Amino acid sequence: MHKYANPTDFMRLANSILPWAAIVTVALFLAGLPMALVVSPPDYQQGDAARIMYIHVPSAWMGLMIYGIMAANSAAFLIWRHPMATLIARASAPLGCMFTALCLITGMLWGKPMWGAYWVWDARLTSMLILQFLYIGYLALADAFEDSERGDKAAAVLALVGSVNLPIIHFSVNWWNTLHQPSILTMQGFTVSAAMLWPLFLMVGAFMAYYVCLLVLRLRIEILDAKIRNARRARAAAPVATATPQQV
For residues 58 and 180, what is the distance between their CA atoms, to the nearest angstrom? Answer: 16
Spatial CA neighbour of 111 closest among 95, 129, 98, 96: 129
What pTM was estimated for this model as a whole? 0.89
Q: Where are the domains of the chain?
A: 2-231
- Number of alpha carbons in the 13 Å side-chain half-sphere of residue 235: 6
For residues 99 and 203, what is the distance between their CA atoms, to the nearest angstrom? Answer: 13
For residues 178 and 121, what is the distance between their CA atoms, to the nearest angstrom? Answer: 9
The per-residue pLDDT string of the chain (248 residues; one tens digit each, 9 = 90 and over) reads 566 778 888 999 999 999 999 999 999 999 999 999 999 988 877 888 889 999 999 999 999 999 999 999 999 999 988 889 999 999 999 999 999 999 999 999 998 888 889 988 989 999 999 999 999 999 999 989 888 889 999 999 999 999 999 999 988 877 777 777 776 655 556 667 778 889 999 999 999 999 999 999 999 999 998 888 778 777 888 775 454 555 54
